[in-house]
Structure 1
C-alpha cells in the first residue's frame, strides 16, 4: 500500500493490522470497515485491495465464516480438544483443527472442573471456548460449553418432581437448565429412564422444550454408566444392516497362495477374559552357524484385510468407529462378532488366514533380518498371561506345561535376548499401575483391583513392538505411503514446568541438556524408594506428548524408535488394517491391498482415527469413573487414604489409594482460612498459618458425594495442612480463593 493510497483510504497498513488484531477473528470485511470508520465506496474498494495484499503475504488469514485474523493467531471463540494437564493438574488444550505450530492453551481456573452433578472435562473431550492472550504469549480459555457428539442431541433423565410436570435433567449438564418434555413426549418413557432428546421450538420465557428421540433404559440399572459414556461421546453402537449382511454372507478365506504354517506351534497369550485373539507368537533357536545363540521369532496376525476390503460396508463401518472401545462391563467392537470373534480370531485348534513376520535376532537382541508372508495357521493353544507365567515359574496347569519345553521356554529365551537390546535402546520406563473394575454377572461392581504385570505381558509387548517396527521399515524401504504411530518429544513448556517442580522434591532437571528417554529414566530411578516416587511418575507422565497417527514419520519418543507403525491389532484398530493393506500391496501378497483411493486419503484417515482414538479413551475413562462412583456411593461418609495428584486455584485433586478413583476437594473444604495456589511450590498455602497441601502429599479424605450418573466424586479434606512459613502478602503467583469464611473465589492473576 503506497502513501497516496493510505491518504485516500484514510487508514494505514499498521492501523488495518491493529483493527484485525482487535477483531481477533470476529470481523469480516464489513466489520473491519466499521471499526476503521470507512464509509465511501472508494475507501471500501481500497480496503478490499489491502486485505487481499495482506492475505497474499501470509500476514492475515480467513476462517470458514470469512472472518479475518492475524496468521498464527487463534480466533476469539473456537473449538478446542483437551489434551492433558500440567503438573498442577490444570487442563491443557489445543485447537480441534490444529494447523502448523500448536499454541499453548490453558483453561482458566475452575473451567471444566465439574462440580455437583456436573461432569468434568477430560482428555479427549471437546469444548467451545472463548480465548484471551495471556501474559506469556499463550492463551487462556474460558468454557462456553462442552461439546458432545451433537450439540442438538442431549442425554437426559426423565424425572417426575413431587409437584409439577415432568422434567428432563441433562446428564452432563451441557445445558445448565432442565428441559420440559414437549406435549405428549413424557408418555414415551418412565420416571428415571435415560433418554436422548432434541431441542424443540424455543420459548421466549421459561424452560426450553425437547422431544424424546430414544429411550435407553433405567438410569439406575447396571450398565447405565457405560450407556451414558458411549452416548455422551458419540460412540456408535451396533452395526448397520448392510454391515451385518456382509458379515453374515462373507466367504471364508482360502489357503491357496498362502504359506502353510500349520505345523508351527504358534500360540495366543491374552488376558483371561479376551474374546478376540489377533496375535500369535512362536520362537526357536536359530540353527544358522553364523548366528550362534540367535533366535527366530514369528509373530502372526489375523488377516482382517482378507475380509474387510476397501470401500465395503464393513470397511466404512470400521473407519467410522476407528477402534474397539473397552468398558468395564462390555466391549463395543470395531467389527461385527462374526469377524472379531470368529473368522478373524486366531482360535485354538482352528485354521485361520494370517499376515506374519519372521524375524531373526542375534544373541544380543539385534535384528538381523525380517520377512513378511501371508500364511495359513492353526493356533496350538490359547493361554492367559497367568497361565503362561505360572508354567515358566513352575506352577503351570497341564495345558501350559505340555507346551513348556517346546514353545514357552524358547519364547522366554528369545525375550531375554530382546531385553538386552531393549536395555540399550532405553525406552521410557514410567511405572503407571492399571486398575480394573470388576463387574459381576448382574452388572454390579464387585471390586476394583490392580492389574498385575508379569514377564508374560512384557514378552508379548516386546514381540509386538518388534513386529510394528518391521512393518514401518518394510513400507519405507518399498516407498509405500503408510500411517505411522508418532510420539513426539515433550514440548518446551512441559519440560520447563517439570524443571520448575522437581526442586520441590529434591530433584533437578538441567534445562540445557538434550531431552532423552534416558534422562527421564534416571530421574525415576533417583525417586524410586522415596516418598515422592508416585508423584514423580505422575509428573513425568504428564510432561509427555500424546501419541498420534500421522503420515509423516516423526519417530516414537517414548519407545525410543526412529520408525514405528501399528500392525498387530487389525481386529480392534483401523490404523493396523491400513498398514496390512499397504504391506499386501507393497509385497504383492494379493489383490486386496491398499487401493489408490485409500492411499490418497491416508492423511485424512490418520487425522480422523487419532480423534476417534481419543473419543474412545474419553468414553472408557468416563465409564470407569461412573462405575467407580457407583461402587463408592455405598461408602459416602467414609474416610479413605489418598494422595494429592493435582493442585489448582479451585482445589486439590486426590487419588484414592484403594480404588485409584480421582476426586476433587474444593478449596472451600480445606479449612477455615483462605488458601492461595502457589504455582512454584505446587501447593495450596493458608494465608494466615502458612499450612500447605502440596502435590504428592499423602492425605485422608471423606467422601462427601459420589454421583454415578456423572462419575463425579466430591471429597472433604480430613488431614490437617502441613506446617510451613506464612506467605508474604503479595508474593504469590495465584490470587486467594474463598474458604468457608466467604469472599471471592479468585482474582485474575499472572499465569505461568
Structure 2
C-alpha cells in the first residue's frame, strides 16, 4: 500500500523530490524509513522512477531541466524536433520542439546531438532551447530517390517523416529515379525543405524484395558475410568426429515447417523401463553441436555475435551463420551423420522432470518431418515416411507430450494466441495471397520438448552458479497492470484486485475472452502488459512460463545466446576443450545486452517488411471496404485492424471529428454528439484511403 502511495506522490510532483520530502508528506517515521528506502530502490529497478543528483527522485519519464537530445524531425515549416538520448519507459519518447527564431537552430540538421534546456510544456509538446551543439554528426536515412529539374528529392521510408529531402544535382551520385538510396542529411534548407546527399544507390524500389531490403537497411542488419568468415566456414568441412557417444541407431527425427532448411533440433521418446517410474517417459532431445564448428574468438564467432541471431523476413532469411553451416554441416539432415549435444530427460506420468543426462554424440536423423505430416499421422493419415515409424517414433512422442502438457497446465503458463499471418508469393516474388499459419498440436509438442530441454540445461548451469546467459522474463510492473486493468474494464473483463500477479491470472483473463470477438485483441493487450523477455547472466526466472530456471539452448544455428549456453555446458561438464573461455565469461553482461538488442532489431525488421509487402498488396484495394476491429484509440488517431490481412491502419481523428467530439481516455471510448460511441474492440467497416508501400503506412476511414 505504501509503495502505491509513494509512486502516486512522485507522479503528482512536477519536479524531483528528496527521500525526506517523501517521508514528511507520507508521515513515514522510525523503522518504516528503511522500508521507504527499499520501496524507492524497487521502483527504480522497475523503471517507474529514477534517481537524480543530490539523491532526488522523479518519474522515469519526467525529464530533467537540461538534457542531451537528438534531432529527429525538421518539418516543412522549419520547426525542429528532438528526443532524449536516454531511454524512457514510454512507447514513444517525449518530443521536444526547439524554440523558434534561435540562431543556433540553423547549425543543426537531422541526427545532430544537442544539449538543451527545457523551457516550458506546450500541451502535448515540450519547448526547449539549445545550450550547446555537442555533435554535428549527420544522420543517415533510407528512402526512395526521385529526379526533379532542380536535382532530386528523397521520400524517406519512415512513417513519421511526411516531408521530402531536397538533393542537389552534385549530391545525387549515380542514383536513378525510383532507386532505394542511403543518404546523409546536410545542414541548411532549400526553400523550406531539409537537404541530403546520396551515399549509395541500392536498387529500384519496384524490384522484388525491396520491402525486405528497406527493412534490412533501416535496422542496420548485416546481410553480407565477410570473406574471412566464409573462408573459415569452408575449412569446417575437414573436421573429424571423435570421443562421442553413438546415437545413430536411435530413430531421432526433425520436425519443422515446410520451407525450413536449418534443422537444429531432433527428438525421440520411449516408455521408461524403470519399474519405479510407471507410465513415465525417457525423452532424447539432440541439438546441433554448433560449438564444434564455431570456435570462440574466430571469424565465424565474431560474425555470429555481431548478427546475434538469424532474421526471418517474409521472402528471405538473413542467417546468423553462412549457409554451408546453417543449411549444411550443422543442419540435422536426414540419413547423414551429424555432431550433436544430446539431453536425456526422464519424466514421470505427470510430466515432472526426475532425472537428466547430457552428452556429446553422433546422430543420424531417420526422417525430416513437417508439422502437418506429423499431425496427420497422429490423426491416422500416414504416408510412406510416417507409416513405418508410427509405433517407434510418433505415438511415443505424443505420449510424452501429453505428460508434459499436464505439467504445463499445473504451472499455469500464459497462453498467448495471436493469429500469425503468412505471405504467399508468386513465382515473380510478388504477394499472391495472405494466409493464417496453422497452429497444430505438433507445433505445441515441439515447443514443450524444447522448453524441457532449455529448463534442464538452465538447472544444470544454475547449480554451483556456473557463468552463463539465461532467458529471463520479469513480472509486469504495477503501471502496466493498471493500464491493462483500465483497458480490459472497457471490455467488461477484470483482473483480480490486490494480488501479486501470477501467470494463471492472465490465463484466466484469456479464457474469459475465448468466445468473444475481442479474443485476439485481449491476447494483444495481455502481451503488451508483459515485460519484454531478454538475455541476462543473472538467472531471475521466466514469469510467463512459470519457471525458476530457463535459458535458450535448442537453436544454436540461429541464436548466438544458444551457442554461448552450449559452450557453458561443455565447460561445466568437461565435454571438450571448446567450451566457454574466460574472456567471454567476463563479457556476459555486455553480450546479453547486445543479443537482446539484435533480437529486437530483427523483430522490427520482420514487422517493417510485412507491413510494406502488405501495403503494396493492398494498393489495388484502395477505395474498397473491409471488416475492421478498433485496436486502439488516442487523442489523435483511431487504430483499426483488418483481420483478413493482419495489418493495422490509422483512421485520422480529423476525419471523424464531426461525428465524435469527446475522447474518454480512461474508458477508451469516443463519444459523439448524439450519444453514439466508438470503443476498443468494436467491429466496424473501414475503407482503404491510402496505402504507402514505401513506408508501409495504411490510412483508413470509417465506411
Q: Deviations over 1:85-121 (max 9, x none)?
A: xxxxxxxxx98766xxx7567656999xxxxxxxxxx
CA 1:71–1:391: 2 relative to 1, 3 Å: closer
1:236: how far off?
Answer: 1.1
| Residues 630 and 640, structure 2, Cα contact 8 Å, conserved in 1 | yes
1:401: how far off?
Answer: 1.6
CA 1:522–1:340: 2 relative to 1, 3 Å: same
1:290 aligned counterpart, secondary structure: helix
- CA–CA distance in 2 between the matches of 1:131 and 1:411? 63
1:188 aligned counterpart, secondary structure: coil
Structure-2 residue corresponding to 1:694 = 679
1:369: how far off?
Answer: 0.5
- CA–CA distance in 2 between the matches of 1:623 and 1:179? 23
Question: Are 1:366 and 2:374 matched, yes or no?
Answer: no
1:440: how far off?
Answer: 2.3
Equivalent of 2:165 in 179, 201, 210 = 179
- CA–CA distance in 1 between the matches of 2:613 and 2:301? 32
- CA–CA distance in 2 between the matches of 1:713 and 1:79? 30
2:480 aligned counterpart, secondary structure: helix
Question: Are 1:710 and 2:692 matched, yes or no?
Answer: no
Q: Deviations over 1:657-702 (max 9, x none)?
A: 211111011112225245222112111122x223211000001100
Equivalent of 2:465 in 454, 464, 479 = 479
Query: Structure 1: which 5+ residue stretches go unaligned?
Result: 1-17, 23-57, 63-67, 81-93, 112-126, 145-149, 719-752
Q: CA RMSD in A?
A: 3.2
Question: Are 1:539 and 2:513 matched, yes or no?
Answer: no
| Between 173-182 and 564-573, the greater mean CA deviation after superposition | 173-182
CA 1:704–1:172: 2 relative to 1, 3 Å: same
1:668 aligned counterpart, secondary structure: helix
| Between 175-184 and 419-428, the greater mean CA deviation after superposition | 175-184
2:269 aligned counterpart, secondary structure: strand
1:189 aligned counterpart, secondary structure: coil
1:254: how far off?
Answer: 2.4
Question: Are 1:455 and 2:441 matched, yes or no?
Answer: yes
2:590 aligned counterpart, secondary structure: helix
Q: Deviations over 1:502-525 (max 9, x none)?
A: 332233223301201111112222
TM-score, normalised by the number of residues in structure 1: 0.77
| Residues 537 and 589, structure 2, Cα contact 8 Å, conserved in 1 | yes
Question: Are 1:157 and 2:144 matched, yes or no?
Answer: yes
- CA–CA distance in 1 between the matches of 2:187 and 2:51? 43
CA 1:78–1:522: 2 relative to 1, 3 Å: farther
Higher strand share: 2
CA 1:328–1:106: 2 relative to 1, 3 Å: closer
CA 1:160–1:205: 2 relative to 1, 3 Å: closer
Structure-1 residue corresponding to 2:534 = 548
- CA–CA distance in 1 between the matches of 2:530 and 2:418? 13
Q: Deviations over 1:556-600 (max 9, x none)?
A: 111111110000001111111110010010010111110100000
Q: Deviations over 1:167-205 (max 9, x none)?
A: 233222776653344554545122111111224575687
CA 1:690–1:404: 2 relative to 1, 3 Å: same
Equivalent of 2:290 in 290, 294, 304 = 304
- CA–CA distance in 2 between the matches of 1:143 and 1:233? 30
| Residues 120 and 127, structure 2, Cα contact 8 Å, conserved in 1 | no
| Residues 84 and 93, structure 2, Cα contact 8 Å, conserved in 1 | no
- CA–CA distance in 2 between the matches of 1:456 and 1:602? 35
| Residues 130 and 141, structure 1, Cα contact 8 Å, conserved in 2 | no
- CA–CA distance in 2 between the matches of 1:128 and 1:552? 36
- CA–CA distance in 2 between the matches of 1:201 and 1:684? 42
CA 1:105–1:602: 2 relative to 1, 3 Å: same
CA 1:504–1:131: 2 relative to 1, 3 Å: farther
2:490 aligned counterpart, secondary structure: helix
- CA–CA distance in 2 between the matches of 1:286 and 1:110? 65
CA 1:151–1:349: 2 relative to 1, 3 Å: farther
- CA–CA distance in 2 between the matches of 1:203 and 1:520? 52
CA 1:74–1:578: 2 relative to 1, 3 Å: farther
2:151 aligned counterpart, secondary structure: coil
Q: Deviations over 1:279-338 (max 9, x none)?
A: 000001111111111101011111111111111111111111111111110000111111
1:74: how far off?
Answer: 4.9
> Whose RCO is larger (CA < 8 A, sep 6+)?
1
Matches within 5 A, 1:281-296: 281-296=267-282
Structure-2 residue corresponding to 1:245 = 231
1:252: how far off?
Answer: 4.0
| Residues 128 and 143, structure 1, Cα contact 8 Å, conserved in 2 | no
CA 1:306–1:79: 2 relative to 1, 3 Å: farther
CA 1:383–1:430: 2 relative to 1, 3 Å: same
Equivalent of 2:476 in 484, 490, 499 = 490
- CA–CA distance in 1 between the matches of 2:549 and 2:250? 29
- CA–CA distance in 2 between the matches of 1:315 and 1:133? 49
Matches within 5 A, 1:43-58: none
| Residues 254 and 265, structure 2, Cα contact 8 Å, conserved in 1 | yes
Structure-2 residue corresponding to 1:65 = none
CA 1:156–1:522: 2 relative to 1, 3 Å: closer
1:527: how far off?
Answer: 2.3
Between the two proteins, the alignment pairs up a number of residues equal to 620
1:419: how far off?
Answer: 1.1
CA 1:604–1:361: 2 relative to 1, 3 Å: same
2:547 aligned counterpart, secondary structure: coil
| Between 249-258 and 700-709, the greater mean CA deviation after superposition | 249-258
Matches within 5 A, 1:386-425: 386-425=372-411
- CA–CA distance in 2 between the matches of 1:302 and 1:666? 50
2:698 aligned counterpart, secondary structure: strand
Structure-1 residue corresponding to 2:368 = 382
